[in-house]
Structure 1
Amino acid sequence: MADPATKEDMSNLIRPPTVRHTIGVLDRTLFAKTINLAAAAIVDKKKIAQWRQSLQKEKTLLLGERLSSVVPHPDQTLASQGARCLLLDPKIRPGVPDTWTPLLRNAVEKKELGIVPYDLSLDYAYWTYEEVMRCLLPPGSRDEHDGFPTGFNQAGHVAHLNLRDGFLPYKKLIADVLIDKNPGVRSVINKVANVGTESEFRTFNYEILAGDDDLNVEARENDCIFQFDYAKVYWNSKLEGEHRRLVHLFTPGEVVCDLMAGIGPFAVPAGKRGVFVWANDYNPESHRSLDSNIKRNKVTQYVRAFNEDGRSFVWRAADMVYAASTSGEHAVAKPKRVSRHHQQKDGEKAKEETSTPEQRIPIPPTISHFVMNLPASAITFLPHYRGLYAGHEQLFEPHTSTKLPMVHVHCFAAKAEGEAPMLDVCERIAAELNAPIKLGDPEVPGEAAVLEIRAVAPNKRMFCASFRIPATVAFASRE
């Protein structure tokens, strides 16, 4: 590895050329740059790897990000014959032996190497998005928290930006560079209204900054394929980890109620794991995409789509699951082929294939988990759990081994030190449930685990609170 001084020299040498800040069209030709270096021409082509290792060990080799130290010989005739060179550190100069190390001098004397000039040409394709932005955006436009606008939500081929005011004069440039530097992106949009402010369905107004005005996308997440119109539904690729986390908390064969299911990022992968899901979304367009994605991913046995108000769906889901269970509804696990090898008397190996019997998986009578991924308002839906299992006390502990459902409610809270945001979330949950909830172990009655999911703004965080519905809430009379 190069020492810190050499790294700093390289950083100063291999940087984009100075480009005048502009609000106009992106001129990619301005980013061409030639760096004059020295290269070690290898006489014996078979020893390239050996010389590369030796020069790297003595810190003479050029080490730069996204640069190969092995290059064709600058003489095109020799290059066509397979001659290769090793790029050398900028402190090594061709024709100036005083800058050569003893290893290089000795190799040149023995005619094992030749030190030749080499012009390293870099163009727009070489520079990263951040390096290009640093050239194009004046320092005054940069946000003190975000620096450059690097983060975006990607849905299939669409990159969704939420640009701050300081970047708006440069939005076209930003979008063009984003498409250039992200091969999977064909369209860039910018949000022009807060999610939830103008639409109860969490959709938003947007403008096309670059690329096609085609927001019908296909996204892949957690081994599932989702197709949807991004202009009409909610999708956030930054929540993939949270989708995976919750899905892996569910046990195959149990029932989950996803109150704000969207297009199915929790429901569909859970169905693939053999979890029964009653998936609901209030947005008709989300419901259409949800239903289509259930079929596309072949989880119709396990996932059912609904288009209802989540408040009334809490009771409806519990009642429908109980009715489905008592009527004997079930899924059928397809037989699996099992291969087994065994040794025959003559020493030959034989392959034997058998099939597992078809298995009926009954729908249980109760819901094990509720998912509420509507962070702006999900907590306000909690009063509707009162009376969830009124008159069905016999289905749960201590009458059976079944516990009351676990609720996973997403919400926002202000950034603060220590446990303050988590305590605030618990207080809000307790107020809506009209039952005590404190921070702690979700398996302990009256306690909740609150996990920070991600930052959504410099002073705003998204959390997920998990707790079991208190018995006083679940068994209260329905009013």
Structure 2
Amino acid sequence: MEPAKATEQIDMATLFRAPAARAMKSLDKSLFFKVLPTSAALVSQNTLLSRYRKALEKSEELIQVEKFSPIAPHPDPEAAKAGKKCLVLKPSVDPASPETWSSVLKKGSEDGELEIIPYKADFDYTYWRYLDIMKSILPEELHDEIPSGFNTAGHVAHLNLREQYLPYKEVIGQIIIDKNPAVKTVINKIDDVGTANEFRTFNYEVLAGPDDLVVEVTEADCVFKFDYSKVYWNSKLSNEHQRLIDIFKPGEVVADVMAGIGPFAVPAGKKGVFVWANDKNPESHKYLEAAIARNKVSEFVRPFNHDGHSFIRDAADSVLEASKRKEHAVIKPPKPSRKAPPPKSPLKDILIPVPPTISHFVMNLPASALEFLHNFRGLYSGNEELFAPHTETKLPLVHAHCFAPKLNDDTTYAEVLGRIEKEIGVALQHGDGEVEGQCSIIEVRDVAPNKRMFCASFRLPASVAFAPRA
């Protein structure tokens, strides 16, 4: 019996394969209509459906295919209107040949509870998945790397199509929209982010849907609205955003040197972390301000539109001055519940002071962030008394994102550490970034066949922080 079952499984896979429509450059959905001649078991009354469904599943005669219900309306329109139903069976069950029936079907037929009839199961474009349809369209030599891993930002899906798939780009775009209800527009990048311009925006072409890139996204319970064509956003970095936010402590100060529209800054502000958030792109700064207002974190997050090189030292000076001026965030007390007794005395605002030093620097510009590290020389020159051993405060942790080639880990780590040493003049060892003289290097994600993104975290060495400013 086993070989017969294996053969039947192969036949079923073939029967449910999307119709071939090779080299289609313009989507014709009508070509994906398919009729499967099979059989069905009519039940004398619907109360028997559940019992016979279970029995026919056990006898392996019921069609069980993803996205296809084996319970169908009665093939007779009048009976269907009356609510009559049937159970769709596998093609191996022949209505004219009872020898192909199981004992379940034979007994049900003898008892007058079942009638086995020919049946036609219809399948159309809506049945098949994206990959099913693409395999039917693309030549077999292109099946290994069918474009499927696209990024999304709100209603926009963006691809980076390889040359061999460009002849099918409009079809690919339309099928993505059809098979992903949240996607309304599909675009294809036509240059590399990070190399086309300093703001990490990119040129694009619309493959399907309207040319509308004003999107709204939610991340870490914060809402961001922006023009995707004018700022940088990557939904695949949400875990990395959250990883660092989890490290930040309420009441600390974080300097976000390349803040974009605020995926680190805004959720951190919601957590009660002070953030000096900077981005050189005026459009990013505009949408950052909007996100701060919309998510009500203006007490903690301050937006800046400076060059990142100068911002590093300016932020340290600005935070210190804010602390000296006794600046603070004001937290309104929660409104008392109507059911709770009134407080004995009026609830007061909670004042959270800005501390004098920055606890973390975030530098999420992987194409060039390490080239900014020389700006940390002299960061706290003349302010040694703010840090240990004079106080319990440690020097800032620097979190710098970078790209590195796919080599063995030791070689990759050495390459990253060498680039850091070139900028700060201090050799760090791979290890725990919390420990002075060591640097943790965390892999964030693959970005290309031969390139990975990392986050290098290290505590700023005292010899760098307290060096004379150039």
Q: TM-score range with shorter-chain normalisation?
A: over 0.9
CA 1:98–1:398: 2 relative to 1, 3 Å: farther
Contact 2:432 2:439 in 1 (8 A): yes
* Structure 1 residues 362-408: Cα deviation after superposition (integer angstroms, max 9, x where no partner): 11111111111101000111111111111222222222222221111
Q: What pairs up with 1:181-192 in 2 under 5 angstroms? A: 181-192=179-190
CA 1:422–1:66: 2 relative to 1, 3 Å: farther
1:425 aligns with 2:416: yes
CA 1:325–1:73: 2 relative to 1, 3 Å: same
CA 1:115–1:380: 2 relative to 1, 3 Å: same
Q: 1:248 aligns to what SS in structure 2?
A: helix
What's the counterpart of residue 24 of structure 2? 22
What's the counterpart of residue 204 of structure 2? 206
CA 1:95–1:215: 2 relative to 1, 3 Å: same
What is the alpha-carbon distance in structure 2 between the residues aligned to residue 330 and residue 93 of structure 1? 80
Cα RMSD over matched residues? 2.1
Q: Which piece of structure 1 moves more, 53-62 or 204-213? A: 53-62
1:257 aligns with 2:258: no
CA 1:258–1:69: 2 relative to 1, 3 Å: same
Letter of the 2:429 counterpart: K
Q: 1:18 aligns to what SS in structure 2?
A: coil
What is the alpha-carbon distance in structure 2 between the residues aligned to residue 279 and residue 264 of structure 1? 7
CA 1:208–1:395: 2 relative to 1, 3 Å: same
What is the alpha-carbon distance in structure 2 between the residues aligned to residue 205 and residue 165 of structure 1? 16
Contact 1:278 1:304 in 2 (8 A): yes
Contact 1:337 1:353 in 2 (8 A): no
Deviation at 1:184, TM superposition (A): 1.8
* Structure 1 residues 86-120: Cα deviation after superposition (integer angstroms, max 9, x where no partner): 22233223232222222222222222333233221
Contact 1:10 1:64 in 2 (8 A): no
Equivalent in 360, 371, 380 of residue 389 of structure 1: 380
Q: What pairs up with 1:54-453 in 2 under 5 angstroms? A: 54-141=55-142, 147-337=145-335, 352=341, 357-453=348-444
Q: Which consecutive segments of 4 or more residues in structure 1 shift more than 4 A?
A: 2-7, 337-340, 350-357
Deviation at 1:164, TM superposition (A): 0.8
Q: 1:370 aligns to what SS in structure 2?
A: strand
Letter of the 2:294 counterpart: R
What is the alpha-carbon distance in structure 1 between the residues aligned to residue 295 and residue 101 of structure 2? 63
* Structure 1 residues 319-350: Cα deviation after superposition (integer angstroms, max 9, x where no partner): 1111111211111222124659xxxxxxxxx8
When the two structures are superposed, what TM-score results if normalisation uses the length of structure 2? 0.93
What's the counterpart of residue 38 of structure 2? 37
Deviation at 1:351, TM superposition (A): 5.6
Letter of the 2:207 counterpart: L
CA 1:290–1:36: 2 relative to 1, 3 Å: same
Contact 2:22 2:139 in 1 (8 A): no
Q: Which piece of structure 1 moves more, 241-250 or 82-91? A: 82-91
What is the alpha-carbon distance in structure 2 between the residues aligned to residue 222 and residue 331 of structure 1? 21
Letter of the 1:214 counterpart: D
Deviation at 1:247, TM superposition (A): 1.5
What is the alpha-carbon distance in structure 2 between the residues aligned to residue 474 and residue 38 of structure 1? 79
CA 1:275–1:22: 2 relative to 1, 3 Å: same
CA 1:295–1:106: 2 relative to 1, 3 Å: same
CA 1:353–1:172: 2 relative to 1, 3 Å: farther
CA 1:303–1:21: 2 relative to 1, 3 Å: same
Contact 2:20 2:137 in 1 (8 A): no
Contact 1:159 1:187 in 2 (8 A): yes
Contact 1:427 1:438 in 2 (8 A): no
When the two structures are superposed, what TM-score results if normalisation uses the length of structure 1? 0.92
Amino-acid identity (%): 54
What is the alpha-carbon distance in structure 1 between the residues aligned to residue 88 and residue 342 of structure 2? 58
Q: Which piece of structure 1 moves more, 186-195 or 83-92? A: 83-92
Q: Which piece of structure 1 moves more, 355-364 or 411-420? A: 355-364
Deviation at 1:235, TM superposition (A): 1.1
CA 1:126–1:321: 2 relative to 1, 3 Å: same
Letter of the 2:371 counterpart: T
* Structure 1 residues 130-177: Cα deviation after superposition (integer angstroms, max 9, x where no partner): 1111122223445x5xx1111222122222111111111111111121
Q: Which piece of structure 1 moves more, 164-173 or 103-112? A: 103-112
Note the residue ranges of structure 1 that are not aligned, 5 or more in a row.
Answer: 341-349
Deviation at 1:438, TM superposition (A): 1.7
Contact 1:253 1:275 in 2 (8 A): yes
Note the residue ranges of structure 2 that are not aligned, 5 or more in a row.
Answer: none
Contact 1:338 1:356 in 2 (8 A): no
CA 1:3–1:442: 2 relative to 1, 3 Å: farther
CA 1:325–1:10: 2 relative to 1, 3 Å: farther
Letter of the 2:440 counterpart: A
What is the alpha-carbon distance in structure 2 between the residues aligned to residue 96 and residue 207 of structure 1? 58
What is the alpha-carbon distance in structure 2 between the residues aligned to residue 190 and residue 211 of structure 1? 12
Contact 2:279 2:285 in 1 (8 A): yes
Q: 2:314 aligns to what SS in structure 1?
A: helix
Deviation at 1:353, TM superposition (A): 6.6
Contact 2:191 2:202 in 1 (8 A): yes
Deviation at 1:49, TM superposition (A): 2.7
Contact 1:279 1:303 in 2 (8 A): yes
Q: Which piece of structure 1 moves more, 351-360 or 309-318? A: 351-360
CA 1:352–1:116: 2 relative to 1, 3 Å: farther
Letter of the 1:150 counterpart: S
